[in-house]
Amino acid sequence: MPPRVKNAAATREAMLAAARQRFLQESYENVGLRDIARDVGVDVALVGRYFGSKEELFKEVLRVGKKADWLDPTVTSVELPAYLASLSTEEDDADRRQHAEGLLIMLRSASSPKAAEIIREALRESVLEPIARLLPGKDPEIRSSLALSVFFGTTVLRTIMAVGPLSGCDTNAMRRSMQRLLDAALTEDTGA
Amino acid sequence: MPPRVKNAAATREAMLAAARQRFLQESYENVGLRDIARDVGVDVALVGRYFGSKEELFKEVLRVGKKADWLDPTVTSVELPAYLASLSTEEDDADRRQHAEGLLIMLRSASSPKAAEIIREALRESVLEPIARLLPGKDPEIRSSLALSVFFGTTVLRTIMAVGPLSGCDTNAMRRSMQRLLDAALTEDTGA
DNA sequence: AGCTCATGTCAACGGCCGTAGACATATCAT
DNA sequence: ATGATATGTCTACGGCCGTTGACATGAGCT
């Protein structure tokens, strides 16, 4: 038989992929359901049928990146800064790419009221807590938040604002800077 | 004479102030001109008359924070990290507050297509370049960008995403962390 | 007082959005 | 082949948006 023209599971998956690409490039409000539907070559109304609402579609998009769990448990705390630093620069590793993409999506839509709570939850449950669990020493939650803030800060300038000095920066230099920042972020506070 | 009920300059100023407050709390797209007008007790159409368009109003809002120039020229590079660190925590100093507010406005609307270019320009001309000019050593543009990324990163988590560990953090601890991060950001890259 | 012009209001336009329900069509079981 | 059902389309609604031009009203001058 010739390949099915009508296949619910396949179109759902295609819409999810298209949505992910869109949310990767624009914020929650600026992504139109009609854009996503057009990408797949399908009618808008299908979004409603398969995902219920735009918010639920967005939730599902964030769930995609969750499948590859954050950080192999074998990763020790000393490798952690290097891993996080590689998130911005490494392009090949599939898991890393997915993690970095997920974070970028959250960052892009961070100031969209409708998306805010969804993002907060996803961030906590599938990023901050897993990282904090790997950190020895005091205040793991604060330090994992600081580490994440390094990623977000550099990404805002490099990718979202497209500010020259960081976007055009040499990859190795960038990785060294990230590593320095992440070391500082993960350092325990001596209170001095 | 009793204070003028109709005063163009005053209402313009009031609308500018109201707009600034709104853009401080929500992103470019999520701030409606009708909201601003309602805050002032005035009709929407006045926005068009006084500012031309929403984009120009936004431009003007960013110009407000520019009046207090960034960093007294007497500030040496050693005090710079402390100054930047105080941006997030200090509430009293008027200039600092205005600088921090300006940055928050830019951050909030960073992923709004209509606002993006305006922000890029304002950031470069009135933040990145002034700071870079104060930095001795190599790659001042890169290092000033990294310093700014520290502010943006922590602000995203603390203020925009309202993520627990950083929003509820002790002020002194926060300042120490910021200082550590900023030192790392401003350190020259030895290439090692 | 009356004239004039700056100042502010009103109504409406066209456009895009997310959502919903009625409708069409392809696929599969019988 | 025929009916049943999953799959996808079409149309349209109500709502908010930024912007515009015609209109009202206040203030200040003579």
8 Å CB contact between A158 and A167: yes
Which residue approaches C9 most closely, CA to C1'?
B43
CATH code (residue A13):
1.10.10.60
CA–CA separation, A123 vs B167, rounded Å? Answer: 15
8 Å CB contact between B185 and B150: yes
Instruction: Please write the tens of the pLDDT for every residue from B145-180.
Output: 999 999 999 999 999 999 988 888 888 888 899 999
B110 and B149 part of one domain: yes
CA–CA separation, A14 vs A26, rounded Å? Answer: 18
**Minimum distance, in Å, between the CA of residue B82 and any CA atom of chain A:** 15
B88 and B181 part of one domain: yes
- Whether A191 maps to a domain, the answer reads no
- Whether B70 maps to a domain, the answer reads no
DSSP state of A188: P
Closest CA to B32 of B44, B42, B14: B44
- Going from the C-alpha of A101 to that of each of A16, A38, A88, A105, the distances in angstroms are 14, 22, 10, 6
Give the phi and the psi of residue B27 in degrees, each rounded to 5.
-80, 165
pLDDT for B66 equals 76
> What is the count of structural domains for chain A?
2
CA–CA separation, A71 vs B57, rounded Å? Answer: 45
Distance in Å from C6's C1' to B46's CA comes to: 13
B57 and B31 part of one domain: yes
A95 and A182 part of one domain: yes
B101 and B171 part of one domain: yes
Segment of A156-170, B14-28, B124-138 carrying the highest mean pLDDT = B14-28
pLDDT for A81 equals 81
- Whether A74 maps to a domain, the answer reads no
Which range of residues forms the domain containing residue B133?
A: 80-186
DSSP H helix total and E strand total for chain A? 11, 0
B87 and B182 part of one domain: yes
Judge whether A168 is closer than 8 Å to chain B, CB to CB: no
B54 and B110 part of one domain: no
Q: Could you check: is the Cβ of residue B55 within 7 Å of any atom of nucleic acid strand D?
A: yes
CA–CA separation, A153 vs B159, rounded Å? Answer: 13
A160 and A110 part of one domain: yes
pLDDT for B2 equals 44
pLDDT at B119 over 90: yes
pLDDT for A2 equals 44
Tokens of B150: 């520290």
- Whether B51 maps to a domain, the answer reads yes
Tokens of A50: 């398969």
Q: Could you check: is the Cβ of residue A171 within 7 Å of any atom of nucleic acid strand D?
A: no
B49 and B89 part of one domain: no
CA–CA separation, A114 vs A165, rounded Å? Answer: 33
Distance in Å from D25's C1' to B27's CA comes to: 36
8 Å CB contact between B100 and B89: no
Q: Could you check: is the Cβ of residue A4 within 7 Å of any atom of nucleic acid strand D?
A: no
CA–CA separation, A142 vs B26, rounded Å? Answer: 26
Q: Please state at what angle helix B171-186 crosses helix B140-155, rounded to 10 degrees.
A: 150
How many whole angstroms from its chain centre is CA A15? 18
> Could you read off the pLDDT tens digit of each residue along chain A, which spans 192 residues?
444 577 889 999 999 999 999 999 999 999 999 999 999 999 999 999 999 999 999 999 999 877 767 766 666 666 788 888 888 887 778 888 999 999 999 999 999 999 999 999 999 999 999 889 888 888 999 999 999 999 999 999 999 999 988 888 888 888 899 999 999 999 988 877
- Please indicate whether residue B134 or residue B67 has the higher confidence score (pLDDT): B134
Which amino acid, A73? Answer: P
A91 and A178 part of one domain: yes
CA–CA separation, B182 vs B79, rounded Å? Answer: 11
CA–CA separation, B55 vs B61, rounded Å? Answer: 10
- Whether B162 maps to a domain, the answer reads yes
B84 and B58 part of one domain: no
DSSP state of A163: -
Tokens of A134: 């790997």
Q: Please state at what angle helix B8-25 crosses helix B94-108, rounded to 10 degrees.
A: 70
CATH code (residue B142):
1.10.357
- Whether A142 maps to a domain, the answer reads yes
pLDDT for B73 equals 62
pLDDT for A1 equals 44
**Minimum distance, in Å, between the CA of residue B161 and any CA atom of chain A:** 6
8 Å CB contact between B155 and A146: no
R_g of chain B computed on alpha carbons = 18
Which amino acid, A39? Answer: D
A26 and A109 part of one domain: no
pLDDT at B3 over 70: no
- Whether A192 maps to a domain, the answer reads no
How confident is the prediction for chain B on average, in pLDDT?
A: 90
Which amino acid, B122? Answer: A
- Whether A169 maps to a domain, the answer reads yes
Instruction: Please write the tens of the pLDDT for every residue from B47-83.
Output: 999 999 999 999 999 998 776 677 666 666 667 888 8
Question: Tokens 């609308």, residue?
Answer: B15
Which of A84, A117, A149, A157 best probes binding to B when mutated, by most B CB atoms within 10 angstroms? A149
Q: Of the residues A54, A71, A88, which one is the last residue of a structural domain?
A: A54
Q: Residue B164 and residue A141: Cβ atoms within 8 Å?
A: yes
CB atoms within 10 A of CB A113: 11
